[in-house]
Amino acid sequence: MSERISQAFIDDLLGRVDIIDVVDSRVKLKRAGKNYQACCPFHQEKTPSFTVSSDKQFYHCFGCGASGNAIGFVMNYDGLNFPEAVENLAKLVGLTVPKQERSAKAEAADKQRKLIYQVLEQANLFFQTQLRQHESRIHAAKYLKKRGLSTQVVQEFQLGLAPPGWDLLIKHLCDANARLSEKEVIKLALDAGLVVENPENQRRYDRFRDRIMFPIIDVRKRVIGFGGRVLDAGQSDPGKKQPKYLNSPETPVFHKGKELYGLANVRQAYTDIPKLLVVEGYMDVVALAQFGIRYAVATLGTACGEEHLKLAFKYTQEVVFCFDGDKAGRNAAKRALENSLPAMEDGRSVRFLFLPEGEDPDTLVRKVGAQAFENMVAQSVALEEYLYEVAGVGLNLNSLEGKASLSKKMAPLLSLLPEGVYRELMQNQLAQHTGLSRENLDELALLSIPKLAEDTPDLTSDSRLPQDPRVGSAHANAENQRMDNWPDMPEYSPADYESSQYTQYEPKKPKPGKTSSYDKRKDDEQGGHSSGSASKFALQPVRRLLALLVQHPELARQVELTNLLTLDNQTELAQIAELIGLLRERPQLDNAQKVCIAWQARFGESRSKLLAELSATDLLAGSQGRIEYNPSEEFRSCAFQLQNWLGQRKIRHLEDRLYQQALTLEEQKQLSIEILKLKKQLLQSAQAEKLREQNLGTTKH
């Protein structure tokens, strides 16, 4: 299309349609208090967990996590793209969709993607034909027979052959696209990752040569890339050893961190997918399918990250990771464990299967058979069990010291879990393991402050294993979350949720004879972020501030948070600052629905989950029976509480430096002055807040 729909019209349309009418016309809703419920149309369930809010004009499924507004629902339920969904809803309320011309650059990019899909499909058909007709097909057929693959499985996974030769595919693509010039075809093949260009002599040649080819097909059944397994006797480049496995590079249509090989085949095999078994190679997927185990998928040369899990949980509630039992497999399992924690919403299950050392699914299933292999899958280790195993390495859990160390390791890890029943159960289990009360563990959770992904605890800190610098990030795509990499205006699609991450600051103990001025009692007296001062809130301060801003956008123009945002040199408060900036820039965003849409349009899907969840949060939950509710006062109180805690935390850092580092007298003097200055500021702030609350109480009475 050559036109786009304006944001102003989208806002107006969503203000006119009622999501209750839209959903109820497709899924019969029943009233449940002030909201409506039904069994989720996006996954199989017996007990309704799909909720639609009339006030917020949002839907959310607490089972599969599907969520969004009226446009998103129509897109997901009716299988429409964004413009089609807007047209559908506009007709419902008698509006005509105004169009704006799209840029020539956007039009060219769309056309290029379509042509890339076209040449990838042509290459796929070429490889399949070569497997039947090329003279080297006999060698390929022997290899496939040796691996025990039937003709049916070969056809189902569309396996093919990239024959020996430097430019057979290039010639085929030029012939198949005669209406295009040779230069245009080669440019498309380069963009599709099918052709390689030597930068020194500009010589171009086929990327895949003398290989068994595995097309990578997305859930919309489009070929987006290839994996190639070199034939044992093949050697297209004499004198240079070829890699055993070769995948397509990143292209405009293929991003290996977001795709699962074989998922399209699993969807074809099951109406209701029971589980997904995540293995490491595409031959493992095909071999398991040959033995009737048709729920296996594979990552494509990369660790299983958040995007992989997000995709998997769209189609099932249970994911089983399958790893070799050697050191590399254990390290890969820890990375998967770390990435799984934020995805563990209620009802989901993640398990870990470790194979005997030296075995992979392909070889093992041939030795033991399908039934024995599936029995191993059924007996795989649950996430919670494996988490305690990893966190408890090297600790004597029968000693007080061991229990204390376990609690320090586990508290920030459990804070990565989404809020819900599963998180509560895990926290209760930690209380039983350590003997600590839930109050003490809650206090540790309250001390958790949002961090960038690379600062989350490293689950691979096993003293028995060498440290891998690539391991330790809770998010494989942490770099993409930095502000300078966020897109300005991504294409709209329904809300996609990703929870904020929290970790814990652990203060160092002062040297003998020295005592830090920080203790919990003083923190409470000065209004610090302790469990006592925060208990009246159901949310942590950062989230409560965001929830108040989303549900009451006018607060962005009524309350100044400059001091709060400059007290800390980390980026964990950036989201509050960004939201305030957006709301001040666009005062027409006067309700939660419009705020969430504008936020998603500016910052993208991956950062929309938290705001969408908070837009539907009951801000009176956990309020200890308060009757009056003043959003502005709640906001001020929560902001003061978080500001005070950040100040206390900074004081603790400075005191640790003062007590534990070899400083000159001048440096000690400067640090002491800075600490005293901060304490004075916090004390003045606490006194001002106390006076304000007293005046407020006098006014009420």
DSSP calls for 45-107: -SS--EEEETTTTEEEETTT--EE-HHHHHHHHHT--HHHHHHHHHHHTT----EEEPPHHHH
Give me the CATH number covering residue 699.
1.10.860.10
How much is the pLDDT for 611? Answer: 78
Q: Are 283 and 147 in contact (CB under 8 A)?
A: yes
Grouping H, G, I as helix, E, B as strand and the rest as coil, residue 401 is: helix
Looking at the fold, whether 585 and 681 belong to one and the same domain comes out as: yes
Residue 370 backbone dihedrals phi, psi, to 5 degrees: -65, -45
Strands 99-101 and 3-5: antiparallel
Give me the CATH number covering residue 171.
3.90.980.10
Looking at the fold, whether 647 and 686 belong to one and the same domain comes out as: yes
Looking at the fold, whether 696 and 683 belong to one and the same domain comes out as: yes
Looking at the fold, whether 512 and 656 belong to one and the same domain comes out as: yes
69 within domain boundaries: yes
Give me the CATH number covering residue 47.
3.90.580.10
Grouping H, G, I as helix, E, B as strand and the rest as coil, residue 283 is: helix
User: Which residues are CB-contacts of 550 (< 8 A; sequence separation ≥ 6)?
Assistant: 579, 592, 595, 596, 611, 614, 615
Round to whole Å and give the CA distance between 35 and 300.
42
Looking at the fold, whether 93 and 172 belong to one and the same domain comes out as: no
Q: Are 213 and 231 in contact (CB under 8 A)?
A: no
Helix 541-551 to helix 574-585 angle (10° resolution) is 10
Grouping H, G, I as helix, E, B as strand and the rest as coil, residue 350 is: strand
543 within domain boundaries: yes
281 within domain boundaries: no
Looking at the fold, whether 21 and 127 belong to one and the same domain comes out as: no
- What are the strands of the beta sheet with 67-68, ordered from one edge? 30-32, 35-38, 50-53, 58-61, 67-68
Round to whole Å and give the CA distance between 289 and 291.
5
Looking at the fold, whether 94 and 167 belong to one and the same domain comes out as: no
Last residue of a domain, one of 101, 136, 171: 101
408 within domain boundaries: no
User: Which residues are CB-contacts of 463 (< 8 A; sequence separation ≥ 6)?
Assistant: 393, 394
Grouping H, G, I as helix, E, B as strand and the rest as coil, residue 550 is: helix
Domain that holds residue 552: 507-701
DSSP state of 17: S
655 within domain boundaries: yes
Last residue of a domain, one of 47, 81, 101: 101
Strands 58-61 and 50-53: antiparallel
**pLDDT under 50: residue ranges of the chain:** 1-2, 234-236, 445-538, 562-572, 622-627, 700-701
Grouping H, G, I as helix, E, B as strand and the rest as coil, residue 263 is: helix
264 within domain boundaries: no
Looking at the fold, whether 91 and 118 belong to one and the same domain comes out as: no
3-state secondary structure 108-167: HHHHHHHHHHHHHHHHHHHHHHHHHHCCCHHHHHHHHHHCCCCHHHHHHCCCEEECCCCC
589 within domain boundaries: yes
Looking at the fold, whether 86 and 24 belong to one and the same domain comes out as: yes
Last residue of a domain, one of 233, 254, 275: 254
Grouping H, G, I as helix, E, B as strand and the rest as coil, residue 503 is: strand
Round to whole Å and give the CA distance between 10 and 6.
7
Round to whole Å and give the CA distance between 572 and 542.
9
Domain count, the chain: 3
Only one residue has tokens 């057979």, namely 168
Round to whole Å and give the CA distance between 34 and 2.
42
Round to whole Å and give the CA distance between 593 and 281.
42
How much is the pLDDT for 529? Answer: 36
The size of the chain, in residues, is 701
DSSP state of 509: P
Round to whole Å and give the CA distance between 700 and 353.
61
List 195's β-bridge partners, or say none. Answer: 206
Q: Are 416 and 502 in contact (CB under 8 A)?
A: yes
279 within domain boundaries: no
Grouping H, G, I as helix, E, B as strand and the rest as coil, residue 247 is: strand
Looking at the fold, whether 11 and 140 belong to one and the same domain comes out as: no
Looking at the fold, whether 25 and 158 belong to one and the same domain comes out as: no
Residue 647 CA to its chain's centroid (Å): 31
How much is the pLDDT for 628? Answer: 52
Q: What number of CA atoms fall less than 13 Å from residue 629's CA on the CB side? A: 14
Looking at the fold, whether 159 and 39 belong to one and the same domain comes out as: no
Helix%, strand%, coil% for the chain, nearest 5: 50, 10, 40
